[in-house]
Amino acid sequence: MAPTPRGKNNRRFNNRNYIRKNDKIRAREVRVIGSDGEMLGVMPPEEAVKIAKAEGLDLVEVAANAHPPVCRILEFGKYKYELSKNKKNKEKSAKRIKEAKFRPRIEEHDYVTKLKRSEKFLHQGNKLKITLMFRGREMEHIDIGMNVVKRAIDDLSGVGRPDDEPKLNGRFIIVNLSPLPQNRRILKYNSADDDDLDVEEEDDSAEEETAEEIAKG
């Protein structure tokens, strides 16, 4: 049995984020997409590399798990830049929109805990989505839920403002808040000294499951 390769190269091939190109492509045959997006067919990677080099470009493996793997002829540096840019945009989007979930008859302690998290989200420059969910007969007292949402909006007015009026959508009241300009943000539930601390995500899995059940019903 051949010894397992060690060192930097082995770690590189075992890295999911590693992108194979040119002579690093190990498949016997690959499906090739040309630089103009046209399908060039299935061929040995060596042949595809020659085509790519003739255009001053690279052969890059873009779908390693396909059968056969799919490769594209393109400019590798530009391709890596676009991948990095897309990843950063996704991370940025995920960070910028947070959600705070409330119930109509929420206990005061739970309310304050959620307000502290929500205030920190907004103070850090994130958008906030407030969602209040009704269960069963709670729908008979929509005004109670609406008052909770309006109270939350008022309590968060030092760091954010609603994009629109709270709206009832099925069994949910929803409203989105945007952060105030940084120089106008005033904390009520948090200390400015704690602003650089990471905010832990709430575990709302139980509520999410109930919401799904309600939607199905």
Q: Are 107 and 204 part of one and the same domain?
A: yes
Both 65 and 101 in a single domain? no
Are 115 and 199 part of one and the same domain?
yes
Q: Are residues 45 and 117 in the same domain?
A: no
Q: Is residue 33 part of a domain?
A: yes
Number of domain units in the chain: 2
The total of other beta-carbon atoms located within 10 Å of residue 48's CB is 25
CA angle 188, 190, 191 (to 5 degrees): 110
Helices and strands (H, E) in the chain, number of each type = 6, 9
One domain, residues 122 and 189? yes
**pLDDT in 10s for each residue of the chain, 217 residues:** 444 445 554 544 445 568 999 999 999 999 999 999 999 999 999 999 999 999 999 999 999 889 999 999 999 999 888 888 877 766 665 557 889 999 999 999 999 999 999 999 999 999 999 999 999 999 999 999 999 999 999 999 999 999 999 999 999 999 999 999 999 999 999 987 664 444 444 444 434 444 444 434 4
Chain-centroid distance, C-alpha 171: 25
Give the H or E element holding residue 115: helix 108-123
Q: Do 133 and 201 share a domain, yes or no?
A: yes
**pTM greater than 0.85:** no
The Cα-based distances of 140 to 132, 157, 173 in angstroms read 14, 28, 14
Backbone conformation region of residue 7, classed left if phi is above 0, alpha if psi is from -120 to 50, else beta: left
Residue 93 to residue 104: CA distance in whole angstroms: 29
Take residue 186 and report the two structure tokens written for it: 């005033």
* pLDDT in the model for residue 1: 43
| Domain region containing 60 | 18-76
78 and 101 Cβ atoms separated by less than 8 Å: no
Is 142 in the same domain as 197? yes
CATH code: domain of residue 183: 3.30.110.10
| 177: exposed, middle or buried (Cβ count in 10 Å: 0-12, 13-18, 19+) | buried
Task: Answer yes or no: do 66 and 100 share one domain.
Answer: no
- Residue 38, domain CATH: 3.10.20.80
110 with 207, same domain? yes
Q: Are residues 116 and 147 in the same domain?
A: yes
| Residue at a domain's end among 41, 76, 111 | 76
Distance CA 189, CA 52 (A): 59
Inter-CA distances, 138 with 45, 113, 146, 150, 172, Å: 64, 22, 12, 17, 11
Q: Give the strand pairing for 127-133 and 97-102.
A: parallel
Residues 132, 203: one domain? yes
Question: Based on the domain organization, do 42 and 143 belong to the same domain?
Answer: no
